[in-house]
Amino acid sequence: MKLIYILLPFLLLCSCSEDDDPVIIEEEDHSVKIEAYYTLKNDNRLYNDVDSDVFIYYGIYSSHLLEYDTFEDGVWSNEEGELRPDLHFKIDSEGKCEFISKRYDEIIMILLVSKYYNMMAHTGFSSSKPGTSAKFIFNN
Contact of 95 with 51, CB cutoff 8 Å: no
pLDDT of residue 140: 79
- The model's pLDDT over 29-51, given as tens digits with 9 standing for 90+, comes to 789 999 999 999 989 899 999 99
User: Measured between alpha carbons, how far is 35 from 106 in angstroms, rounded to an integer?
Assistant: 21
- The model's pLDDT over 43-93, given as tens digits with 9 standing for 90+, comes to 989 999 999 999 999 999 888 889 999 899 999 999 999 999 999 999 999
Q: Which residue, among 110, 108, 34, 113, has the nearest Cα to 71 in the 3D structure?
A: 113
Bridge partner residues of 122 (DSSP): 111
Contact of 40 with 114, CB cutoff 8 Å: no
As a whole number of Å, the end-to-end CA separation of the chain is 91
- The model's pLDDT over 98-115, given as tens digits with 9 standing for 90+, comes to 999 989 899 999 999 999
pLDDT of residue 110: 96
pLDDT of residue 54: 97
Using the Cα atoms of residue 82, residue 85, residue 91 and residue 92 in order, give the sign of their dihedral. positive
pTM assigned to the model: 0.78
